[in-house]
Structures are given as structure tokens and as C-alpha cells.
Chains A and B, each alone.
Chain A
Amino acid sequence: MKAFIYFLVLVCLCGCSKKLSTKDYVVEKMNKDMSSAVRFIRLTEADDTLDLSKCHPIDYFRTLTPAGRYCDMSECVAILYKEGLLYSVSGSGAVYFFDNSMLKTRYGIFSAIPTDDNYWMPATVTFDEYVAAYECVANKTNRLIYTENIDRQRQKLIDMGVKDFDPYSVPLIEPN
């Protein structure tokens, strides 16, 4: 019985640490992106000032975006708050916060898709073993879907020097 309890605790710790590591990575990366960003863009219907310290984080995502017409696949980190979605894409120089009212959905794996004019729109991504499909979730926009080959994404992660990722969870970047 004692051994079983130890086993349970160990399983719990492993599970928690895995989730925490994604959270820690995303928070650290978001802080880094914010320190180098030149634009902080909030999509809102309100006039008030956004204070992230008063927002309530719920979930954390680290993903690979699709490639756009003028850009390659990039790493995206996103934090889903009770109040909205915060995300940034490596190298974009911008951090975005979409209030809930500006999002079509709050459910799914959050990433971003590029626009032709060099902005990034919030997107949810679904995938199987071959293809990742990204759908824009910004409100008041026409249906916008990007697809990306999973093998290309795996190769991209290797090219980026990401060593520890689960090849079966791509475009989610999760520890193996």
C-alpha cells in the first residue's frame, strides 16, 4: 500500500512537472518577447487600460505557426486568460492581446497565423499525423484557414535546434 501511494505521488509529480515546464517555458519566453517587442496590440471594445497583473491565466501553449507568404514557420507562445488571449510570435516584434469579445472561441489549442501585411492573427490548430490545420479565431473576420505539413514542421523544429519535443504532438511543442 505504501509503495502504491509513493507510486501515485510520483506519477502526480511527473504529470504536474510536465505541465509546469510548459507553463514555465511559455511565461519565460513571453517575458523575453515582451522585452524585445516594439508593439503591444490589444484588440478590444473597451477604453480601459489593460493590466495583465490583474488578469487570470488559465492555460499555456507553445506551438509552431504555419508559414506565410512572406514568412517561415515560427514559434508562438500563448497564454489563455479568463479575460482574453495573449500571444506572441518569435521575431515578429509584436505582442497581442485579444479580449474575449474579439475572439470567436476560447476553446482549442491556440497559435497564430500570419497575414500578408506582416501581422499575426489568433488561431486554433487541430492536427493528425500528416497535417496541421489552423483556423483564424479573430472576430469579425472572414473564414481563414492555413494548413501545414507535419513532417515539414518536425524538420523545422530540428532546424530551429529544438532538441526535446514529442514528434507526435507537433505543431504543439511539448517535451518528449
Chain B
Amino acid sequence: MSRVQFENYSSMKEVKEGKSLDRTKFVLPKDDSSFGKKLFSEKTICFTDYTTSKLAAKTCTAVIYEKGVSIEVNGHKSYFDAKGMDAIPFKKEFTLTAMPSEIPDAPWQPAVIILEDETDYWIYTSLYNKGDYHRQVQRIEGWCWGVARAQGYKYKSLRVN
């Protein structure tokens, strides 16, 4: 019995769904040299971490390539390869924006919006998951949009014109 190696889990949900990957161990490309042709870019609103004292809206510039994307927020640009992405929006079929991240060298990670028809809140969910079932999420409620509006962004419009 003593030779048996147990796997540690914090809940039966984790046992069933698997453990989330340690995002601090993700290694990102240094540039876009392996991403192929540039397809298009878009500017959107993203939000810093969700506390009243720190919350701020930022502009995210995403560049979409054939095999990856780059995300630039606050002058910091990070590169994400297609192998770690759940999907790449080749034809603008969904909006690519950013959310905070703990991936090394990437304070911001690519995200998509779900529940955007809800009037109460939107959910930003991580797109760079390396196959992990556990998506990171950021809940953006009405007051967050109020913060964005106070900074001069168009209220409840994700895209920056």
C-alpha cells in the first residue's frame, strides 16, 4: 500500500473534469515569425482585474494571423500560437479581445465574449487554453461599462472605433 502514488484533487468536480493546467508554465512564441500571413486586426475594450479600486478599461489591439494572434495592451505585445488556441477567428466570426493573464511575458491573454446579449453582464473567457477544459473567465458587469464610459469609451460597445 505504501508504494501507491495518489493524485491530489481539491474536489470531486476536479476529479471528474481533470485538473486545470498551470498557466504560469505556458511558453509563448517570442514573435510572429511562424504565424503565417496576417489576416486582419481589430481594436476592442478590455478590462483590468475586477476590483472596484483597480478596475480600468484598456484598448486591446489584436492582430490575427493564419497560425496565431498577437495581443497588444498598454504597449505590451504578446504572441499566442495556434496550438494553444481553442480557435482563431479567420473571418471575424467572433470578436477577439483580451483579459488579464498570469502567463509569463503576457499580462494580457486573448479572450472571446460569451453571453453578450445579456443586459446585466458579459463574460470574457480565455481563448489560449492549450486544450485545458478549465476556461478562465472575467465577468464584466454594468458598472464596469460605466467605468469604461467615464474613460471615454462608447458605452456597451466592445469595438473601439
Interface residues of A (CB under 8 A from B): 30-31, 34, 39-47, 49-53, 95, 97, 115, 117, 119, 121, 138, 140-141
Contacts and interface: CB of A to CB of B under 8 A. Distances in A.
A40 B2 contact: no
Given A117-B16, A119-B15, A119-B16, A51 B2 contact: yes
A141 to B, nearest CB: 7
Interface string B1-30: 110111111111001100000000000000
Contacts of A53: 1-2
A95 B15 contact: no
Contact of A43 (B1, B2, B12): B12
Contacts of B7: 39-42
Contact of B9 (A34, A44, A49, A140): A44
Interface of B: 1-2, 4-12, 15-16
A6 B12 CA distance: 52
A31 B1 contact: yes
Contacts of A40: 4-7
B127 to A, nearest CB: 27
B74 to A, nearest CB: 34
A3 B139 CA distance: 79
Contact of B11 (A43, A46, A49, A51): A43
A95 B4 contact: yes
B9 A43 contact: yes
B12 A138 contact: yes
Contacts of A52: 1-2, 4
A45 B10 CA distance: 6
Instruction: Among A39, A41, A119, A140, find the residue whose CB has the most chain B CB atoms closer than 10 A.
Output: A41
27 contacts: A34-B1, A34-B4, A40-B5, A40-B7, A41-B6, A41-B7, A41-B15, A42-B6, A42-B7, A42-B9, A43-B12, A44-B10, A46-B8, A47-B8, A49-B6, A51-B2, A52-B2, A52-B4, A53-B1, A53-B2, A97-B6, A115-B12, A117-B16, A119-B12, A121-B12, A138-B12, A141-B12
Nearest to A115: B12
Instruction: Among B4, B5, B7, B10, find the residue whose CB has the most chain A CB atoms closer than 10 A.
Output: B4
